[in-house]
Structure 1
Amino acid sequence: MVLVAGLTLVACGGVDPDSPLGQRKAIFKQMLKTSEDTGGMLRGRLPFDGARFAEGAVRLDALSHEPWKHFPAVKEAEHTSAKDAVWQRQARFQELARALEARTGELVLATQQSQLSPANMIAPMNNVEDACDACHKEFRNH
């Protein structure tokens, strides 16, 4: 029965949600959704709501610490968007992960120390997005 379920997942192109790949994909999707909402408030796609923006910053910060533990020491056999470099250049990968965590922490601090307005949140949010982009450029197959 387990074999049939596994083959069904593979045949459908699905990913086991409990696998490391499934876990990190779910986290990255949550990060993307949260980032799109907070960034959307700064770009006028959504109305700016300071309290919701601050909540999004806290959520993004919490999520930014999660996906890294779901990258196993050896690359899994499942299809992944992660380049082999993730496993070949672990020190650099971890460096960029810590940079993202630092930027999301700075975003949270900005929401606590600055007047919550789009103008005041653009720079710290751009820093978060730049940290994401830096890692994607080196370690993700697009």
Structure 2
Amino acid sequence: MSLAACGGVDPDSPLGKRQVIFKEMLNVSEDLGGMLRGRIAYDEPVFVEKAAQLDILSKQPWQHFPSVKEEGETSARDDVWQRQERFQELARELEDTTARLVASTTQPPLNDSVLALRVQAVEDACESCHKEFRVY
């Protein structure tokens, strides 16, 4: 029996695939913010690795939004499909913020103030898209 038959999300569906990516993005982003805010130990090589990982992840979920809204429960608002141009614009903004974060990790010594600004920009990009396109 598949998860969909039990009321869960089919992990092979577009929804299931993007949920996995978004969850991974959240976990990596929380680690980066946690290191800069003192919630977890700052480890520069790990920070650099996770920044690169977040940049890769930021480019992945968009391919799993089909051109027509799929059946079933999703936290994506109908606007995702009705306002595709704006949705894609915000996706590119997120990708730009993660690229700038990675660029800030390529020249040691790393500047904590710059990294904090870059991580905040990533968080802000996520939040702006959520405000417009996510059901809470």
Q: Give the TM-score normalised by the residue count of structure 1.
A: 0.91
Q: Give 1:11 shift.
A: 5.2
Residues of 1 paired with 2:118 and 2:109: CA distance?
A: 13
Q: Give 1:10 shift.
A: 3.8
Residue of structure 2 in register with 1:126 after alignment: 120
| Residue correspondence of structure 1 range 50-89 to structure 2 within 5 A | 50-89=44-83
Q: Does the 8 Å CA contact 1:82/1:141 hold for their aligned counterparts?
A: yes
Higher share of residues assigned helix:
1
Give the superposed CA RMSD.
Answer: 1.2
Residue of structure 2 in register with 1:140 after alignment: 134
What SS does the aligned partner of 1:137 have?
A: helix
Alignment: residue pair count: 136
Residue of structure 1 in register with 2:92 after alignment: 98
The residue type equivalent to 1:77 in the other structure is E
Q: Does the 8 Å CA contact 1:50/1:117 hold for their aligned counterparts?
A: no
Q: 1:23-43: CA deviations, max 9, x gaps?
A: 000000100010011110011
Q: Could you list the runs of 5+ residues in structure 2 that have no partner in the other structure?
A: none
Q: 1:57-114: CA deviations, max 9, x gaps?
A: 0000000000000000000001000000000000000000000000000000001135
Q: 2:18 aligns with which of 15, 24, 30?
A: 24
Moved over 6 A (4+): none
Residues of 1 paired with 2:109 and 2:51: CA distance?
A: 14
